[in-house]
Amino acid sequence: MSPGKHAGTLELRGERLCLDFANTVGWHASDHPQEWLLSYADLLAWSQHVGIVTNLQHEQHLQEASSRPTFAEEVLTRAIALREVLYRIFSCVAQGCPPGSGI
């Protein structure tokens, strides 16, 4: 990870929440992708950064995660799985794949 850079400071270039979420991996298609969502706390920091979680909600979710770490890890795993599907869809669209071509 780059010094001083983390999920809560990523540049938002997608102009749509779903595109910015797909961009929580840098250099995705390379041999050395840069993962920014390394923990549930990272997911919360990104969510706060894009404005879908308030400061209060951020703190409440962090507290809950400390008492339910397995649940927090499951949420992170599901979020990353969603992100990967979004990435495949957007990549396919960008390459002009026909609908239903097996994302």
pLDDT digits (tens, 9 = 90+) for 62-88: 999 999 999 999 999 999 999 999 999
Helix or strand or coil: residue 69?
helix
- CA separation for the pair 62, 27 (Å, rounded): 28
- Residue 99: its pLDDT value, please? 66
The pTM (predicted TM-score) of the whole model is 0.87
Q: What is the pLDDT of residues 7-54, one digit of tens each?
A: 999 999 999 999 999 999 999 889 999 999 999 999 999 999 999 999
Q: What letter represents residue 2's amino acid?
A: S
Domain ranges of the chain: 7-94
